[in-house]
Amino acid sequence: MSGPRPYYGPDEPYETILLERSFIAGGYIAGAGYGIQVVLYVICALYLWSQRKRQGKSMLFLLAYITLLVVIATIFTAASARTVQDAYVDNRNYPGGPWQYFLKTQYLAEDILFYAMLFVLTFLSDLLVLWRCWVIWTASGRLTAYAIIAFPTIMLIGSFVLGTLWTIKSSQPGLSLYSTLPLILGTSYYVVSLAINIIVTILITTRLIMYRKTMLSTLPNEHAKHYVSLATIIIESSALYSVFAIIFIATYGANNPVNQIFLSVASACQEIAGYLIILRVAQGRAWNKDTLTTHLTTLPTMQYANREQRVGVDTLGVGTQSVFVDAGDATSSNDAQDPDSVTWSDKPPKSQISTNGGTIA
């Protein structure tokens, strides 16, 4: 029998090795998330550019927003890759291993860029979700919408201050992301940021569920589902990010090594959720302040396609006429509230009537 397998691993505590594994796994996840973001950016950019003339400056503004987002995400991903290279390749023999090197060199340019870009990405994503909340609630009036987002806006300002302090303190010589003060600031920042997302998610979800009840009772299911489906509510409210952000905060506050993995997942989910929201806006499928009123006021208006008047033949060979009305012979009022409120013309349609013996024009 062969003896025990020799150990060629680093001479470090198991906890440190687990931290290093989580750190490099987080880097791979960040890279995968970045790839998805680039694909979504291209799709969104094409849609926004194609709609720039029809929908005006709003499309160009969103195009500039996602361009800024992808540039910052590129810097963030590059800084993350450089940090991994420094720790695991260029300084692999640093006393204590790659993780100790990472903790002791938070002042390096790539580490500062890493934290700064992560903070900016989170802040911009919070702004987007807050804007969507305002848009969805404007159907109830602008004053109502402003009142709804007042508290989340104050929290967003507070998170900006905390995030700035967290970035500065984490990058000072002698301190790291996991030092006492940066850990407190970082946990506080992400708790506030998460609280904003949870509050906004609840506000958006509540309003969409209210809309859902109204639209499903009024519109056909196949038309209403574009605006009130479960997928719509999840995308519009950015609920997916909130789930992973909660897990990250719990593991980060407990100083659990797997927090690095959930940090990368939460960050990727937040950006992906933003692109999906903007994609719906570009496609005209997202909620806006006029969505509900537009569909409810246009519902009574009935339009009929041109149809032919035909005569069928039953099994006994007797001609039986079935009447189809031409679009020009049926009118309805935009003011009518009953979908069946239609005025029918007595003029026979111009379409042909087929019989067994021939055709009557």
One pLDDT digit (tens) per residue for the chain, 361 residues? 566 788 878 888 888 888 888 888 988 998 999 999 999 999 999 999 988 888 778 889 999 999 999 999 999 999 989 988 998 999 988 988 888 888 888 888 888 888 889 899 989 999 998 998 898 888 788 899 999 999 999 999 999 999 999 888 887 877 777 788 888 888 888 889 888 988 888 888 888 777 767 666 665 555 555 555 666 666 666 677 888 888 888 888 787 888 888 888 888 888 998 898 888 888 876 666 655 555 445 444 433 333 444 444 444 344 444 333 333 443 444 444 444 444 444 444 444 444 444 444 4
Asked if the structure places residue 357 within a domain, the reply is: no
Asked if the structure places residue 289 within a domain, the reply is: yes
pTM recorded for the entire structure: 0.72
Asked if the structure places residue 303 within a domain, the reply is: no
Helices vs. strands in the chain: H and E counts, helices first: 12, 6
Asked if the structure places residue 340 within a domain, the reply is: no
Distance CA 279, CA 240 (A): 16
pLDDT of 318 reads 41
Asked if the structure places residue 313 within a domain, the reply is: no
165: amino acid identity, one letter: L
CATH number of residue 33's parent domain: 1.20.1070
Structural Rg of the chain based on CA atoms: 30
pLDDT of 312 reads 44
Dump pLDDT digits (tens) for 233-252: 666 666 778 888 888 888 88
Asked if the structure places residue 41 within a domain, the reply is: yes
Asked if the structure places residue 67 within a domain, the reply is: yes
pLDDT of 237 reads 62
* 343: phi then psi, degrees, rounded to nearest 5: -95, 120
Beta carbons within 8 Å of 161's beta carbon, 6+ residues apart: none
Overall domain count for the chain: 1
Asked if the structure places residue 100 within a domain, the reply is: yes
249: amino acid identity, one letter: I
pLDDT of 2 reads 64
Question: Residue 46 belongs to what H/E stretch?
Answer: helix 14-50
Instruction: With CA atoms as reference, report the closest residue to 236 among 217, 208, 196, 195.
Output: 208
Dump pLDDT digits (tens) for 49-92: 988 888 778 889 999 999 999 999 999 999 989 988 998 999 98
Structural domain range at position 51: 14-294
Which structure tokens are listed for 199?
A: 């509050």
* Contact predicate 233/1, CB 8 Å: no
What is the separation of C-alpha 110 from the centre of its chain, rounded to a whole number of angstroms?
28
Which structure tokens are listed for 213?
A: 């009840």
pLDDT of 39 reads 96
